[in-house]
Structure 1
């Protein structure tokens, strides 16, 4: 490990390899950062603010950095971007739960580490950056998009402040928006500043809008070996499947599970039929199965409730969340556990597409949502997690479940080599047409009240405002009202109606 000690991200105080101080490096932090990585490509480079040297908890280092494609920091006193980044970024990585090991590209210069082989992947593109804090966030933002796993790791610090100071200027924020998001997000940022902060930072926009954009820049980590140092895992697994009115598809899923090279211990099927007096469509005893089938029959419909019922029955160390219209190869579970062990994962989300769809994401990466029909989760991570019934029959239950996991310090990783085909059988997930009460009102709420519920639970105020503005702009071209002032008034009313319905959903959930 190389310890890279700096003062206020501006000047090198000392660079150490073990107890030995390394000489001959420039005083300027970024210049020395590149130089040290080139001279020691097989080392972890650990940066430390001068005041944090004795606050660095080295005992947890190997637990956090258990393979080379990990970058992590801990904001003890300072961070770079404040919550204004939420105007352009509504992903869960743009806001940090500082009490847990949380997936985020937001980096602090107080303390952190990255492997030198990873640093060198960015030198060609970022050699012109002179601000060390900006550079760290740039590496993490572009790196995360391409498969670098980035975290806020509170275990790195022995003592932490309750509040942090944010260092980025308005110009830094606009520069970052134009360089690491689609260019239009920089304009969105200006609109948000004008509307919500009554500020008009035109000079910041003009001075940064023409900077090079890295949004689609590819960084190839394929030559960096990933081998987690975490201990071997117990690969016992249960499967949970909600189903309603599709017996032939469910039986095909069970047959795919029957052929697995690594068999599940138990499959819990939650069959729903809203008709009182109805009976099951299945006779599981008609065929021999190499695993226990636990059948739950209920007249209460809804995938959230069904999955919650099934989760109560899990006894194995892992859970496979599976839909009743999936198709997969005979070695799905075996391959999945190979990647879980290789990366040291607690949650794995598979590639999930129809036969006609093209695979969009071709690198393993931190995932911004969750896959309730295509995920494998460690049971120990689910003790305080369940699907929110306020989101039943709507959208966002997957995203909300994912946020519950992240707020417990559990990361969600997508891997393209583990793939499930989603057949999307007729009638969708509910099989019966659900008429939601808000669909019979005027004006119809926008967004849907279930999405609004998710937003209110999980977004910062800035993320909510950014989402609202982006939604308005995207929807404008597909509707018939072209007078922008009239459109604005109507959309504000629809947003307010959505907020009222979201409040009712949450109240019904509590009652």
Structure 2
């Protein structure tokens, strides 16, 4: 293990396996020193710490950690280099950093951190060596995440972490640099516009300076390969419960069950929540009892319709090691659960979404990545991670429950990966389905809310203040192209009214128990 102790600007001391290392790089920027050390010791793990935190570094944690595709840091004694205002243009879950759990984020800190020299060398030729070490780490993480690097804020790096909160910078200079390098010139202008709108501030000099710099090209960067050391040859067989809500799709569901029945690794149990709002109706799924299935079936019939309620009823019945949340109209390859089992054994995730495309759609990802979304019809979650997590009933019969469920997982310390190699075919059956048209209380409003109150409720619940404002701005800009009113002034006033209606109902939903 290589340990670099720094003062933000330059290295102060370098240790290898606890012993001082005779390398004269004290005059180097810290980022340049990182690359020099990674090149000299390509098989080592690299740890950095600010000199003020040297005595608070949890060395035992580092010694027990050996994942070559993870990057960890923790802002233990100072604010992040990025301003909270960057939320105007970064709407992702990775910006909503949580101080008390291991949380997926590109918001790295020079206070303390860890990465493999292999990963540093992989990205070396694609990154500028910023004099600002914190900015360098943020850019490295942001560029690396879509290429297979997994970046986290990890409080266990410090013996006595401060869980009171992680603060953002009050200075926006590094934020301009990050936007220019990572997002591009268009987003710089949108960022500046929103700073003027919401903060009554501008920085034309920094904007011009950053506007002239070149953005990083993600397409030129190859994927980070998983090291063989991370692979687990001794594979055990996990147990899986399958959760399937269904409504009016008798034949389609049967086809899905038949696919599960021929799996090379059979599920332990299939938990089916059948819904029909007709109070006189009875179950139509006779084949659940007349056909001999090679797994247990737990069947619940309810007159209460809704995605959240159905899946919550099923989650209360889970007994297996893992849960697969599935739609009722999937075609599932016969090695699907066996492949999922192997993936879990090798990469030790706690939750992951799989590729679920319709016929003719093309998968865009070509490596396993940290996922900003969550698919409630195509995701695996470790059962132990679900003990206190359920779908929010306030979002029933709307949109946004998937995103909310994913954020609940992340806030509890569970990262969500995306595996593009585990593939499902989504039939998108034209009848029945999980959702059913239900009258909403806001339908009596003279103006229809924009966005849907359930979507806004989820955003209010989890997003940062600048992300909420940024979402509003981007919604207004995107929707402008899709409607007939092209007068920007009357359009803005009209959308403001629709936003206020949505905000009223979103806050009402958020207060629903």
Common fold by TM > 0.5: yes
The answer on 1:486 being equivalent to 2:482 is no
The 8 Å contact of residues 228 and 344 in structure 1, kept in 2 or not, is answered as: no
Change in Cα spacing, 1:335 to 1:234, as seen in structure 2 (3 Å) is closer
SS of corresponding position for 1:213: coil
Offset of 1:309 from its aligned partner? 0.2
Write the mapping of 1:71-82 to structure 2, written as runs, cut at 5 A. 71-78=71-78, 79-82=80-83
Offset of 1:160 from its aligned partner? 2.6
* Alignment TM-score, normalising by the size of structure 1: 0.95
The answer on 1:147 being equivalent to 2:148 is yes
Change in Cα spacing, 1:394 to 1:418, as seen in structure 2 (3 Å) is same
In structure 2, the residue matched to 1:13 is 12
Q: Which moved more, 1:25-34 or 1:311-320?
A: 25-34
SS of corresponding position for 1:498: helix
Offset of 1:389 from its aligned partner? 1.1
Runs ≥4 residues deviating over 4 A: 163-168, 229-234
The 8 Å contact of residues 86 and 466 in structure 1, kept in 2 or not, is answered as: yes
SS of corresponding position for 2:227: coil
SS of corresponding position for 2:219: coil
Partners in 2 of 1:128 and 1:101 — Cα distance? Answer: 27
Q: Which moved more, 1:40-49 or 1:28-37?
A: 28-37
Offset of 1:130 from its aligned partner? 2.6
Partners in 2 of 1:290 and 1:42 — Cα distance? Answer: 47
- Of residues 199, 219, 223, the one that matches 2:201 is 199
The answer on 1:267 being equivalent to 2:270 is yes
Stretches of structure 1 lacking an aligned partner (at least 5 in a row): none
In structure 2, the residue matched to 1:212 is 214
Offset of 1:157 from its aligned partner? 0.5
The 8 Å contact of residues 148 and 224 in structure 2, kept in 1 or not, is answered as: no
In structure 2, the residue matched to 1:243 is 246
Partners in 2 of 1:168 and 1:33 — Cα distance? Answer: 27
The 8 Å contact of residues 39 and 117 in structure 2, kept in 1 or not, is answered as: yes
Partners in 2 of 1:168 and 1:122 — Cα distance? Answer: 29
Partners in 2 of 1:449 and 1:170 — Cα distance? Answer: 32
- Of residues 254, 259, 271, the one that matches 2:257 is 254
SS of corresponding position for 1:204: helix
In structure 1, the residue matched to 2:227 is 225
The answer on 1:412 being equivalent to 2:412 is no
The answer on 1:477 being equivalent to 2:491 is no
SS of corresponding position for 1:143: helix
Change in Cα spacing, 1:127 to 1:499, as seen in structure 2 (3 Å) is closer
In structure 1, the residue matched to 2:328 is 324
Partners in 1 of 2:212 and 2:432 — Cα distance? Answer: 45
SS of corresponding position for 1:321: strand
Offset of 1:80 from its aligned partner? 1.6
The answer on 1:438 being equivalent to 2:439 is no
Q: Which moved more, 1:263-272 or 1:434-443?
A: 434-443
In structure 2, the residue matched to 1:97 is 98
Deviations along 1:238-284, one digit per CA (max 9) or x if unpaired, are 11100000000110111011001111111110000000110111111
In structure 2, the residue matched to 1:429 is 433
Change in Cα spacing, 1:53 to 1:375, as seen in structure 2 (3 Å) is same
Q: Which moved more, 1:126-135 or 1:303-312?
A: 126-135
In structure 2, the residue matched to 1:451 is 455
The 8 Å contact of residues 239 and 264 in structure 1, kept in 2 or not, is answered as: yes
* Alignment TM-score, normalising by the size of structure 2: 0.95
The 8 Å contact of residues 143 and 182 in structure 2, kept in 1 or not, is answered as: yes
Change in Cα spacing, 1:223 to 1:95, as seen in structure 2 (3 Å) is closer
Change in Cα spacing, 1:361 to 1:451, as seen in structure 2 (3 Å) is same
Q: Which moved more, 1:167-176 or 1:140-149?
A: 167-176
In structure 1, the residue matched to 2:3 is 3
